[in-house]
Amino acid sequence: MFNGFLIPRSDSSVAYPQLIVNRLHMTIWGVVGLGLARIFWATSLLAYADRETQELIVALLATSTLGASLCLIHLRVAALAFVAIVMVPMIAFLWLSDVAVLVILAIVLALITAVVIFVANRYGIDFARMIMQRQEMETKRAEAEHLSKLNLSIANQDSLTGLANRRAFMTHLQDLVKNGSASWEEGLAVGILDLDGFKQINDVYGHMAGDRLLQEVSKRLTSILFGKVFVARMGGDEFGIIVNDARCEKQLVVLGERICRAMQVPYKVGGFSANLGGSLGFARWDSNKDNAEELFEKADYALYHAKGNSRGGVMIFNEKHAHAIKQNSNVDRRLQNADLEDEMSLVFQPIVASENANTIGFEALARWRSPILGSIPPDIFIGAAERLGIINRLTSVLLKKALLEAKKWPENFFLSFNLSMQDISSHEVMLKLVSIIKASGFDPKRITFEVTETSIMSDCDRAMESLNFLKSLGAKIALDDFGTGYSSLAYIRDMPLDKLKLDRAFVSGIDADENSAAIVQAMINMCWNLKIDCIVEGVETRSQFKALGAMGCNIFQGYYFSRPLESDDALAFALTQRAIEEVSGEKFHVL
């Protein structure tokens, strides 16, 4: 009932520290008023009281005043003001009374008052110092708390997009799995989104444009994904998604398609317009099988297949993928312990030229026959070697074998050999390959090293350095599987290319589809204009061979001419070709 009367109500419009200051000022003024009232009351009574009553009034006033001062000791100004207002006039009154007892009482009160003033002043100073120390401690605590929150934000937030980062993503996922806050029925799922075409835009327009593009992507994701969906930037152009309520695969597909469509809408960044795509892999949590890391790996595997099979699409991890992972695990384990010298071999597919289909060289293709797993397809064991980090060792073994066989061929035959992304991104590997070539005694001018667009784009500067190094030895460079990647034509212009190999995907419908024929014709013309040889892969029929010849292509490779041959058969094939050349008088030189 006294709130707001004796104690003023809080004013929400006033900051809390200022409110405290205001109330302290009110307390001081209240003490001053009370002191004045008390001394007025006392002096009024003393003038009309007898000796005993005067002594009683003085004793009562002194004890109450000194007691009140001790109660106000935490507020030094109020305590000193109260003592000064009450005791000083009282002591003066008693001193001037000419009554011996009252004068002695004045002296006693003066001494007591002096002690109280000293104690109040000393305690007030100490109390103020303690308050300042506490304020400093509070300030430091607030700063430490702010720094802690800032560090936590830095540790868990992507500075570019404002989204959670990879660390926060994995921590959140681990908490969901560990605490069982989601179940298989509730539909916990992890998705990984990878942007298609981002690297090319980043390389052409610069990193600042790439950063703005990533910021725009994050805005689109946050506008689409809300509720029980957690979004994070995992690094580069990869984003992570945690869905808590995807109860069926169809729901995930619908959500994924919505995300992919949003990614395909043209971006207006700075002064240019950019087109991107997005591939998305999802994996649902099985509480009986998966921990957080395994769930993430499944989503990553689904993304890998989404990018390989249908860029710009959605892939849900399924039993087929699980079987493939198990198979890959077996392959990885066997390959890790394999005797590469003994288990790896090569086959050689002829590369032919002119309308007479004369062989001018062979492409070396790796084969692996495991004593336990049997024959493993190259696309499986090459990928496994890259994952395991032994692709460089595998390349060295295969190059030695290839050069050993190629030395048996006629001198006008060349060897075409494939290099991986990890090969051309390592200066040490380049030096190793050169030492192998020199040790073999094989002429480097008869070697063509094939690289893919993807391997170059992963680290363009390092790749260019490696390719120029190989060119300086006299070797030739061919760009393999051209047209299947996303590289800029600027790469084709700047690379030290001698040959360009068109992927088989463009050949399959060339003799029936006008669009396919037009694309191939444009590529062949480009090669002529750039003064590089154009090799068309995947030629399987005579009609394709004739159509390509009519377009101006004069180097071919495919099953129409020959399947890959074992080393002995390739040697026989080459020797037969030389015999034909000697009889006919025609000789085809290394290109």
Active-site residue identified among 158, 196, 237, 290: 237
Spacing of C-alpha 505 from chain mean position: 34
- CA dihedral (445, 447, 453, 459) positive or negative: negative
CA distance 393 to 298: 28
Residue 501 CB burial class (10 angstroms; 0-12, 13-18, ≥19): buried
Contacts of 380 (CB under 8 A, 6+ apart): 327, 328, 331
Tell me the two tokens of residue 315: 């892939």
Tell me the two tokens of residue 78: 């109020």
Contact 8, 23 (CB under 8 A): yes
- CA dihedral (287, 290, 291, 297) positive or negative: negative
CA distance 554 to 126: 99
Tell me the two tokens of residue 226: 């809300």
Mapping DSSP to helix (H, G, I), strand (E, B) and coil, where does residue 32 land? helix
Instruction: Quote the DSSP letter at residue 272.
Output: E
- Measured from the Cβ of residue 113, the count of other Cβ atoms closer than 10 Å reads 21
CA distance 214 to 201: 11
Q: Is 533 a catalytic residue?
A: no
Instruction: Quote the DSSP letter at residue 266.
Output: P
Contacts of 398 (CB under 8 A, 6+ apart): 344, 346, 364, 366, 417
Q: What are the backbone angles phi and psi of residue 316, rounded to the nearest 5°? A: -100, 130
CA distance 113 to 574: 122
**Phi-psi label, residue 270: left if phi above 0, alpha if psi -120 to 50, beta otherwise:** left
Nearest 5°: CA angle at 427, between 426 and 428?
90
Residue 192 CB burial class (10 angstroms; 0-12, 13-18, ≥19): buried
Tell me the two tokens of residue 329: 């695990």
Give Cα separations from 307 to 65, 193, 255, 496, 538 (angstroms).
Answer: 88, 10, 18, 28, 23
Question: Residue 101 is which amino acid?
Answer: V
Mapping DSSP to helix (H, G, I), strand (E, B) and coil, where does residue 80 land? helix
Pairing state between β 565-566 and 238-243: unpaired
What does the DSSP assignment read for 277-340? EEEEEEEE--TTT--HHHHHHHHHHHHHHHHHH-TT-EEE--HHHHHHHHHHHHHHHHHHT--H
Contact 284, 252 (CB under 8 A): yes
Residues in the chain: 591
Give Cα separations from 355 to 555, 561, 564 (angstroms).
Answer: 9, 12, 21
Tell me the two tokens of residue 67: 């007691």
Q: Which residues are catalytic?
A: 237
